[in-house]
C-alpha cells in the first residue's frame, strides 16, 4: 500500500464514518462543560500546593536564621533555601507556560516546538529537584534539630549514618534519572531537528 | 441561534476530523476518548473568538492538532482522570470487523510516523492543498511538499518491512 492507495482507503473510511453521525447534542454540550480535569491543570494544582508548602518552610527558616551559628548549619540553610524557593518557581513557571499556549492561534509547528522544549525543561527540573531533595533530606534533620530544640546534631552519629544512606540512594537515583533524561532529551532533540528541516 | 447551538452544529458537521486526530495521536481506548473530549472542550473555549477569518475546518484542524500535541506532552500520565459520560464510551465501539481491520492497519502505519509527519499526512489524506496544510501547520507550501515526499518514502519502507516480516 503506497500513499495513493492509502488515500483511497482513507476516503472510503471517511465516507463510511461521515454517514454515521454519532454525537448527539447532549453529548457535545456535556463535553463543553468541564466534566473532567485536564491532566495539566491537576499537575499545576499539586505543584502549586507543593510550592506553597515549600515557601512556608522557607519562611520558617528565615524567621529562625539567627539560630544557625556554625558554617555548616548556615551552608545547609542556604542550600535548603535554594531548594525551597528557586526550584518550585522554575517548575511552576514551566507549567504555566505550557498552559499559556494559545491552541486556537499557534500554528502546529510552533506548538510542537514549544511543547517539546518546555517538556524537556520540565523534565530536567523534576530530575534536579528529586536529586536535590535527597541532599535536602540529609541537611534538613540537623537544621530542624537546631531550629526546634537548639541542639546541633550535625555531626551526630545517627545523622552521619542517615547522610551515608542518603548519598547511596542519591547515587542510584542520579544514575537512573540521568539515563531517563538522556533518552527523553534525545527524542525531544529529534523532534526539534525534524522541525528545522527544509 | 445561540452560540452553544451553533457550536453543536459545527461539531456535528465536523466530528470526523476530531475522531481522526484522536485516533492518530492517542493510544487506543481511554486515551483516545480523553483526547476526543479535550479537543471538543478546547474548540468550545475558542469558539467565541473564532471570527471566520479562516475556513471553519482550518480552525478545527489547528485546534485539534495543537490539542493533540499538548495531550501527548502531558507531564505525568494518569495524573487525574474522571471517567467520561458512559454514552461517549460507545463512540469507538461500533465498527464492523472488516472496517475495523482496514482502519487499524491504516492507523498503524500512520502512527509509526513522528508527531510532525502524522499531522501533515492527516491533512494530506483529508485532501488539503499544500497551501492549506501550510496555513494550518506553519510550514511553507514547498516545505510541505518536501515533507510529504519524505513521508511517502518512509511509508514505502515501513510497508516493505511489514511485508518482509509477515512473509
The tens digit of pLDDT for each residue in B47-63 reads: 888 877 788 999 999 99
Tell me: pLDDT of B68 over 80: yes
Inform me whether the pLDDT recorded for A85 exceeds 90: yes
Per-residue pLDDT at A83 exceeds 50 = yes
Q: Please give the average per-residue pLDDT across A110-129, as a whole number.
A: 85
What pLDDT is attached to residue B167? 55
pLDDT at A143: 86
Inter-chain touch B115–A112, beta carbons under 8 Å: yes
* Average pLDDT score, chain A: 81
Mean pLDDT of A172-187: 78
- Output the pLDDT for position B80: 38
Q: Residue A17 and residue B19: Cβ atoms within 8 Å? A: yes
For residue B81, the SS3 value is coil
Overall average pLDDT of the B125-136 stretch: 93
Q: Answer whether residue A197 shows pLDDT above 80.
A: no
Q: Cβ atoms within 10 A of the Cβ of A65, count?
A: 13
Three-state DSSP at B52 gives: coil
pLDDT in tens, A9-35: 888 888 877 776 677 778 888 877 765
Task: Flag if B12 and A32 touch (Cβ within 8 Å).
Answer: no
Among chain B residues, the shortest Cα distance to A2 is held by B156
The predicted-structure confidence for B25-48, as pLDDT tens digits, reads as follows: 998 888 888 889 889 989 998 888
Mean pLDDT to the nearest integer, B63-90: 65
Task: State whether B70 and A40 contact (CB < 8 Å).
Answer: yes
Q: What is the distance between the alpha carbons of residues A138 and A132, in angstroms, rounded to a whole number? A: 10
Question: Does pLDDT of A78 surpass 90?
Answer: yes
Q: In whole angstroms, what is the distance from residue A123 CA to residue A104 CA?
A: 26
Judge whether residue A131 has pLDDT over 90: no
Least Cα separation, residue A136 to chain B (angstroms): 24
Kindly indicate the confidence band of residue B5, based on its pLDDT and cuts at 50, 70 and 90. confident
Q: In B, which residues are within 8 Å of A23 by CB distance?
A: 11-12, 15, 91
Model ipTM?
Answer: 0.78
The better pLDDT of the pair A29, B145 is held by B145
Q: What is the pLDDT of chain B when averaged over all its residues?
A: 83
B166 or B137, which is more confident?
B137
Tell me the pLDDT band of B93, cut-offs 50, 70 and 90: low
Q: Give the best residue of A4, A5, A10 to mutate against chain B (max B CB count within 10 A).
A: A10
**Res A51 pLDDT > 80:** yes
CA distance A171 to chain B (A): 24
Note the pLDDT of residue A166.
Answer: 76
Q: Which residues of A touch B49 (CB under 8 A)?
A: 104
Chain B, window 27-66: residues with a beta carbon less than 8 angstroms from a chain A beta carbon: 34, 37-38, 40-42, 44-46, 49-50, 59, 62-63, 65-66
Facing B76 at nearest CB: one of A43, A194, A197: A43
The beta-carbon neighbor of A6 closest among B7, B16, B125 is B125
Give the pLDDT score at A41.
Answer: 66
Contacts of A28 in chain B (CB under 8 A): 7-8, 11-12, 40
Q: Please, what sign has the CA dihedral across residues A158, A161, A163, A165?
A: negative
Does the distance separating the beta carbons of A32 and B4 come in below 8 Å? yes
Smallest CA–CA distance, residue B47 to chain A, in Å, is 9
Instruction: For residue A120, give the C-alpha cell.
Output: 524537556
- pLDDT, position A157: 77
Amino acid at each position: 500500500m503506497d500513499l495513493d492507495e492509502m488515500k483511497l482507503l482513507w476516503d472510503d473510511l471517511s465516507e463510511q464514518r461521515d454517514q454515521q453521525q454519532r454525537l448527539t447534542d447532549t453529548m457535545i454540550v456535556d463535553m463543553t462543560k468541564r466534566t473532567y480535569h485536564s491532566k495539566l491543570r491537576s499537575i499545576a494544582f499539586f505543584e502549586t500546593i507543593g510550592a506553597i508548602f515549600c515557601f512556608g518552610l522557607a519562611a520558617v527558616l528565615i524567621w529562625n536564621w539567627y539560630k544557625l551559628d556554625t558554617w555548616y548549619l548556615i551552608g545547609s540553610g542556604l542550600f535548603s533555601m535554594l531548594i525551597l524557593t528557586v526550584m518550585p518557581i522554575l517548575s511552576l513557571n514551566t507549567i504555566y507556560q505550557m498552559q499559556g499556549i494559545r491552541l486556537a492561534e499557534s500554528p502546529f509547528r510552533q506548538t510542537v516546538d514549544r511543547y517539546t522544549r518546555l517538556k524537556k525543561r520540565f523534565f530536567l527540573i523534576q530530575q534536579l529537584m528529586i536529586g536535590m531533595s535527597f541532599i535536602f533530606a540529609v541537611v534538613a534533620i540537623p537544621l530542624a534539630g537546631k531550629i526546634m530544640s537548639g541542639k546541633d546534631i550535625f555531626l551526630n552519629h545517627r545523622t552521619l549514618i542517615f547522610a551515608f544512606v542518603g548519598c547511596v540512594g542519591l547515587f542510584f537515583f542520579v544514575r537512573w534519572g540521568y539515563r531517563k533524561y538522556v533518552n527523553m532529551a534525545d527524542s525531544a532533540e529529534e523532534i526539534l531537528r525534524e522541525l528545522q528541516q527544509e | 441561534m445561540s452560540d452553544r447551538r451553533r457550536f453543536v452544529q459545527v461539531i456535528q458537521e465536523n466530528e470526523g476530523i476530531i475522531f481522526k486526530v484522536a485516533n492518530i495521536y492517542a493510544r487506543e481506548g481511554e486515551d483516545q476518548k480523553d483526547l476526543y473530549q479535550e479537543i471538543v472542550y478546547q474548540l468550545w473555549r475558542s469558539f467565541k473568538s473564532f471570527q471566520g477569518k479562516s475556513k471553519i475546518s482550518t480552525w478545527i484542524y489547528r485546534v485539534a492538532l495543537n490539542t493533540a500535541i499538548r495531550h501527548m506532552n502531558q507531564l505525568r500520565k494518569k495524573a487525574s482522570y474522571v471517567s467520561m459520560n458512559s454514552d461517549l464510551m460507545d463512540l469507538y465501539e461500533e465498527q464492523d470487523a472488516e472496517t475495523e481491520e482496514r482502519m487499524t492497519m491504516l492507523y498503524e502505519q500512520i502512527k509509526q510516523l513522528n508527531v510532525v509527519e502524522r499531522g501533515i499526512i492527516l491533512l494530506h489524506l483529508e485532501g488539503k492543498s499544500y497551501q492549506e496544510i501550510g496555513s494550518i501547520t506553519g510550514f511553507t507550501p514547498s516545505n510541505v511538499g518536501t515533507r510529504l515526499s519524505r513521508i511517502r518514502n518512509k511509508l514505502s519502507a515501513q510497508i516493505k518491512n511489514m511485508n518482509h516480516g509477515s512473509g
